[in-house]
Amino acid sequence: MLKDPSRRYMPRAEPDPQLWHGTLGGYTNHHCKCDECVAAHRAYCANARAERVASTPWDEIPHGTANGYNNYRCRCEPCKGAMAAARTSWPSAKNRDRRKERSDSMVGMGDG
């Protein structure tokens, strides 16, 4: 038996924004970036980080890594050094260095 073709492409009803607005699902699933949804996402991340830090003994934190610096809020010298090294590979750091080199090479040009 064939299915009714008129029901084949039935549009899905959008959920009422009032139900998800200001929630973590509003931020992650609906890509809403309003203040309330962003605040819900920040609260979730802060709570997850606090639970992760509280449940991990100090000697199990991956010291000397950017992971230890970012996810466990470790500020020991090896973790700070690893994070500084990781930052140098970020595109913004590379672009900053390129811009500085370019501006340094252009010093004195145009002084006619």
The pLDDT of residue 110 is above 60: no
pTM listed for this prediction: 0.55
Q: Which domain holds residue 32?
A: 22-55
Asked if residue 72 lies in contact with residue 54, where contact means CB atoms within 8 angstroms, the answer is no
Q: What tens digit of pLDDT does each residue of 43-89 get?
A: 999 999 899 889 989 889 899 999 999 888 899 999 999 999 998 88
- Please count the CA atoms within 13 angstroms of the CA of 104 that sit on its side-chain side: 6
33 and 62 belong to one structural domain: no
Q: Bigger pLDDT: 2 or 99? A: 99
Mean pLDDT of the residues in the chain: 81
Q: What pLDDT is stored for residue 112 in this prediction?
A: 47
Confidence of residue 20 (pLDDT cuts 50, 70, 90): confident
Give the total number of structural domains in the chain. 2
Beta-carbon count within 10 A of 89 CB: 8
77 and 49 belong to one structural domain: no
